[in-house]
Amino acid sequence: MAPPGALTLQDTPVNDDTLQRYLIRLFERHDVELEPDEEWLMTDGDFPAIRATWHEGAAGEAGRLDVDIVISEERHIEESFAGIGGGEVGCRDALGVFERSEFHVLLAACWYVTDERRMQLESWEMGPRTWDAFIGPLVSTREGIAAPDGLVSELRAALQGESLTPELHWVRLFYRRGDDGQASTEALLDNAPWPAGDKLLTSLAWPAAEGPYNARSFIALDIRDY
C-alpha cells in the first residue's frame, strides 16, 4: 500500500488534477492546508501559491516537471525537474527529485514549516544584515556522490558579493559530468542566470565517477526577523 500522500498513477492520467491531489496530500503531511483555485493551490486564499505541471518527453527522452511557487504579486520561484522514463514512471521520478532536493527548503522558506532533519540550517552575517540560510541536500543521479568540500562556504562568499534586497532569495545549483568527463554547470539566483555561481561550481573538486552524473542543490536565504 502506498504511504499517505503518495501519488498513485497506475489508473490515472498524469494531468494537472492528479498533481494537485498529490501536492495537497504532500503538504497535509506537514500540517499545511492548500486550497484549489483553478490551476493553483492557495494558502488560506492568499500567497504562497503553488502549481505543478508535467510535460511528457518525446520518444526516448526525459519528461519535465515544472513547479511554480508565487510568493507575492511581483515574485515567484520557477523550478524544473527531469523525469527518467515515459508517462507515470517519468512523473514519479521527477516528483521524487522534487521531494528530496527542494520541497523541504521551500516548505521552510515559504510556509515556515522547518524540518531540520531534511536540510542544513545556518545563520549568515552578510553586510549589515543577518540571514537565515536553508540549504538543501545535494541530490545526484548517481549514488555515492557527495557535495564537494567548500560548496557552502564558497556559496556564502559568492552571495556576499551580491547586493541582496532584504527579502527572500533562492539559488539553484546544477552540475553535470558527461560521458567524456567534461563538466557543465548552471547556477540561478532568483530564477536568473548567475555567473558568480557558475564560477564557484567550476572551481570545486567534484567527485570522479565511472559514468556520467548530474547533481543539484537548492538554497533559500531570508532576512532574519528579530
Q: For the segment 81-115, what is each residue's pLDDT rounded down to a tens digit?
A: 999 887 888 898 999 999 999 999 999 999 999 99
Residue carrying the nine cell digits 543521479 = 141
CATH of 120-223, one of 1.10.287, 2.60.40, 3.30.500, 3.40.630: 3.30.500
Q: Rounded to an integer, what distance in angstroms lies between the CA atom of residue 48 and that of residue 71?
A: 5
Question: What residues does each domain of the chain span?
Answer: 16-111, 120-223
Helix axes 151-160, 195-203, angle to 10 degrees: 150
Q: Which residue's entry shows cell 516537471?
A: 65
3-state secondary structure of 90: helix
The pTM assigned to this predicted structure is: 0.91
The tens place of each residue's pLDDT in the chain, 226 residues long, gives: 344 445 444 434 578 888 999 999 999 999 999 999 999 999 999 999 999 999 998 887 899 999 999 999 999 999 999 998 878 888 989 999 999 999 999 999 999 999 999 999 999 999 899 999 999 999 999 999 999 999 999 999 999 999 999 999 999 999 999 999 899 999 999 999 999 999 999 999 999 998 999 999 999 999 987 5
pLDDT in tens, 140-170: 999 999 999 999 999 999 999 999 999 999 9
Cis previous bond, 4, omega within 30: no
Walk across the sheet containing 63-70 and list its strands.
Answer: 35-37, 40-43, 46-55, 63-70, 76-83
- H/E stretch holding 81: strand 76-83
As given in the structure block, the three cell numbers for residue 9 are 498513477
